[in-house]
Amino acid sequence: MRPNDLFRMCVQNLLRRKSRTFLTVLGVFIGCCSIVIMVSLGIGMKESQEKTLAKMGDLTIITVNAPQSGRGKNKLDEALVKRLRTISGVEAVTPKQSLEAETINLVTGTGRRYLADWVSVVGVDTDEMERLGYQITEGRTAKKDGEVVVGQYLAYNFKDNMRPEGRNMVDRWSGDWDENGNLTNVPPPYFDPLKEKKMTLEIENDGKKVTIPIVPVGMTKEDYSKGSETSDGVILSLSDLRKILDKLQGNKKKAVPYNSVLVKVSAIDQVEPVEKEIKAMGYNTDSMESIRKPMEQEARQKQMMLGGLGAISLFVAALGITNTMIMSISERTREIGIMKSLGCYVTDIRVMFLSEAGAIGFIGGLIGCVVSAIASVVINLASLGFSPENILPAIVGGEEVSRVSVIPPWLLLFAVVFSVFIGLGSGYYPANKAVRIPALEAIKSE
């Protein structure tokens, strides 16, 4: 038989018993809906977890530290940086060197009006900053000597010497907290560091004083996976930092190893293998993975549980399909005999019944997908509040929106394919039963 004839027969036979087909499809539809909705809740949970984590820092950054023991052997040096760059999955690498001194002051304004003490100063490979995922919120990265990038909240570290002691700093935490736990009404700092064209670093160590002028050209978003300097520190180029270190050391000229090396990998799932490889090289590593992994695992467990609950109803629906097909076959025993006696191939009969069962699965799955997509939007709207401007975020989500129910396209595809397979699977036994009906049934008088 030709495929289009098989298809026509399938449709005709399904339409013959409309209410029975409808009820069976309904069962599949409910099963499909429950799977999709349940899994989408799990995905939504996972997604909002990841968003929370991402707020804390870049999830694809690995910090490499020198091992505690066996010092002297595994140093953080240029050779290591080169080696790290060759690992597959690594996007960018920078060494990080912090300035350690007895006092590190940063002053600016006319007549040293603003002063910040204990500023964290680090040097990184400024060419790699963009690829490392430093989010420059204002300005640009450092390109020339003396140019620096400052942390988002650096300005809050400054004292205003014109104001009386005790009231000469702006408290960044003095704002209000909204219902999502975010700060609002944060008071502005005394000045914008990027507008202050000049700042001076005053460093004192071992009786040596070094004064370096710096020019802030960019501001980076707070990201603790990269270090606290992104919050309230100063990021210099490595060569600038070397110069400061050289000046402080005077004639000693001792090579100072890097404090750490930052490695950026291409995707979240690369974190684990790359970390493993670096550890195998004999270094310590640190990443958000240690927090993310158990959270993800928990989310996955919940997802499986929810999906399993949904699957139960689809399996009940599968029994419904089998039942419908068996009934249909016992009604059509004679017909099958007639078709066989007229030369219908056994395979065609099997395909005929399998396609009916598969079609029930497919239609149920398709309707289930459409309805659960709508239900998902309604659930999201309910959590975001019913208003027109929330409709789009409820459907596609957004950077700042965490949806309760998330249906990725693969889930819909999976649901339809799964429903079809459930249909075919539950049609398998009835189809075999149909195939075994002898042509002789056609001759038997009723």
Partner 1 sequence: MNPSDLRSRPIIEVKNIRKEYPIGDETVVALKRINLNVMRGEICCIFGTSGSGKSTLLNQLAGMEKPTRGEVRIGGVPISRLSENQLAAFRQKHLGFVFQSYNLLPNLTATENVAMPLMFRGVPREQREAAARKLLTRVGLAHRLDHFPGQMSGGQQQRAGIARAFIARPDVVFADEPTGNLDSKTTVEIMNMICSFARDYHQTIILVTHDPEMAAYADRIVTLIDGEIVRNEVNQKKERKTYEA
Shortest reach from residue 397's CB to partner 1, in Å: 48
CB closer to partner 1, 12 vs 110: 12
CB closer to partner 1, 16 vs 198: 16
Shortest reach from residue 296's CB to partner 1, in Å: 53
Question: Encoding tokens for residue 218?
Answer: 């960019």
Shortest reach from residue 45's CB to partner 1, in Å: 49
Q: How far is residue 118's CA from residue 108's CA, in Å, rounded to a whole number?
A: 15
Question: Encoding tokens for residue 191?
Answer: 């000045």
Q: How far is residue 43's CA from residue 403's CA, in Å, rounded to a whole number?
A: 9
Q: How far is residue 310's CA from residue 314's CA, in Å, rounded to a whole number?
A: 7
CB closer to partner 1, 351 vs 411: 351
Contacts of 382 (CB under 8 A, 6+ apart): none
Burial 178-216 (b: 16+ CB within 10 A, else e): eeeeeeeebeebbeebbebeebebbbebeeeebebebeb
Shortest reach from residue 19's CB to partner 1, in Å: 16
- Contact positions toward partner 1, by CB under 8 A? 1-2, 4-5, 12-13, 16, 334-335, 338-348, 438-440, 442-443, 445-446
Sign of the C-alpha dihedral, residues 70, 71, 76, 77?
negative
Closest CA to 156 of 183, 179, 129: 183
CB closer to partner 1, 272 vs 335: 335
Residue with tokens 């004999």: 282
CB closer to partner 1, 275 vs 356: 356
* C-alpha distance from residue 191 to each of 126, 162, 167, 169, 230 (Å): 25, 14, 16, 11, 18
Shortest reach from residue 340's CB to partner 1, in Å: 7
Shortest reach from residue 328's CB to partner 1, in Å: 12
CB closer to partner 1, 312 vs 440: 440
Closest CA to 77 of 238, 272, 300: 238
DSSP codes, 281-326: TT-EEEETHHHHHHHHHHHHHHHHHHHHHHHHHHHHHHHHHHHHHH
CB closer to partner 1, 149 vs 349: 349
Side chain identity at residue 342, one-letter code: L
CB closer to partner 1, 168 vs 341: 341
Is residue 394 classed as helix, strand or coil in its secondary structure?
helix
Shortest reach from residue 341's CB to partner 1, in Å: 5
Shortest reach from residue 415's CB to partner 1, in Å: 31
Shortest reach from residue 1's CB to partner 1, in Å: 6
Shortest reach from residue 426's CB to partner 1, in Å: 23
DSSP codes, 127-187: GGHHHHT--EEEE----STTEEEEETTGGGG-EETTSPTTSSS--TT-SEE-TTS-EESPP
Cβ distance 287 to 63 under 8 Å? yes
Closest CA to 142 of 162, 164, 159, 125: 125
CB closer to partner 1, 307 vs 337: 337
CB closer to partner 1, 12 vs 69: 12
Angle between helices 346-384 and 18-56 (to 10 degrees): 50
Shortest reach from residue 31's CB to partner 1, in Å: 29
CB closer to partner 1, 327 vs 413: 327
